[in-house]
Structure 1
Amino acid sequence: MTGEHREQLMSLAREVSFATGERVFDEGGRADHFWIIHTGTVTLDLRVPGRRAAVIETLGPARLLGWSWLVPPHRWHLGAEASSPVRAYEFDAATVRELCARDPALDHELCTYVAGVIARRLRAARVRLLDLYAPYGAGEVP
């Protein structure tokens, strides 16, 4: 991301913290914020009917937490829980979407970045669910 766009976004951030075990958001809930993790770790989980939620991925510092805020209907596709004490930069999704509407270059840059995050999370979810529930595990897919 360009320095100018990074500065624009960071001007909207506020620092927040989450205690170990605190739910950041739940699958299906309203996605109205997103975070950049500064310190600590957050696990992403997926509800599996008849079983405990499956942990899909663990995110650490400098990682984006939350992408559902960008894609209507703005509902979380996964859940998230702090797995250690977390400090993060929180962004109000509506404010960021308004900023993007006024700045097409920022919108393109942010959408391209978030699309990459979505692709990585989809792959992580697929591999993890195959590891947990497929008869012979996931194996590595090229």
Structure 2
Amino acid sequence: MTSTTTVSAALPVGHRERLMNLAREVSFPLGTRLFEEGRRADRFWIVRTGTVALDLHVPGRRAAVIETLGHGELVGWSWHFTPHTWQLGAETTSPVRAWEFDAQTVRDLCASDAEFGRAVAVWVGRVVAHRLQAARIRLLDLYAPYGSGSRS
């Protein structure tokens, strides 16, 4: 992921501190499913250590890994947008330590502080745009005929 989408680069210090005041430290062993597509998105994480693979269900095939996330990266963006259901799945690919956030608490803070809310929305929007591009590239790599994703 680009440095502009990690929490340390995306949020100004004051907003980052306000967000981090809401965090609780959690740990997950290798192979933990953090969430599944279509389920309720009521929390999100920022990776401290370890890696998390984002995957996409593909009917009749194994889930396609779209991207692997590491230190400082946001795991989950669906919590920010209605209907608050996961658009991807996520599984730890190593032991993970992370900061966990309650989605409703963060949304409430965003609603009560327009400047903070805008900063979070821009950050999450950048993450969504990046993940959409990553998904497109990965799915072309996996399923398109050779050369179909190249631009002339």
What's the TM-score once normalised by structure 2's chain length? 0.90
SS of equivalent residue, structure 1 residue 43: strand
Instruction: Indicate if the aligned counterparts of 1:130 and 1:137 stay in contact, CA closer than 8 A.
Output: no
Q: Specify the alignment match of 1:14 in structure 2.
A: 24
Q: Would you identify which runs of 4 or more consecutive aligned residues in structure 1 move more than 4 Å?
A: 137-142
Q: Deviations over 1:3-22 (max 9, x none)?
A: 22111111100000111011
1:140 Cα offset (Å): 4.8
| Contact 1:15/1:90 (<8 A) preserved | yes
Alignment deviations for residues 7-62 of structure 1 (CA, whole Å, 9 cap, x no partner): 11111000001110110111111100010000000000000011110000000111
Deviation for aligned residue 1:2: 2.0
Across the aligned residues of Structure 1 and Structure 2, the Cα RMSD in angstroms comes to 1.3
Tell me whether 1:75 sits opposite 2:82 in the alignment.
no
AA matched with 1:83: T
Distance in 2, matches of 1:106 and 1:32, equals 20
| Partner Cα distance (1:66, 1:141) in 2 | 30
- In structure 2, stretches of 5+ residues that fail to align are 1-10
Give the corresponding residue for 2:146. Answer: 136
Query: Among residues 98, 116, 121, which one is paired with 2:126 in the alignment?
Result: 116
Residue 115 of structure 2 is aligned with which of 90, 93, 105?
105
Aligned-pair identity (%) = 63
Look up the equivalent residue of 2:36 and give its one-letter code.
Answer: D
Q: Secondary structure at the match of 1:15?
A: strand
CA distance in 1, matches of 2:132, 2:122: 15
User: 2:92, 2:142 → 1: CA distance?
Assistant: 22
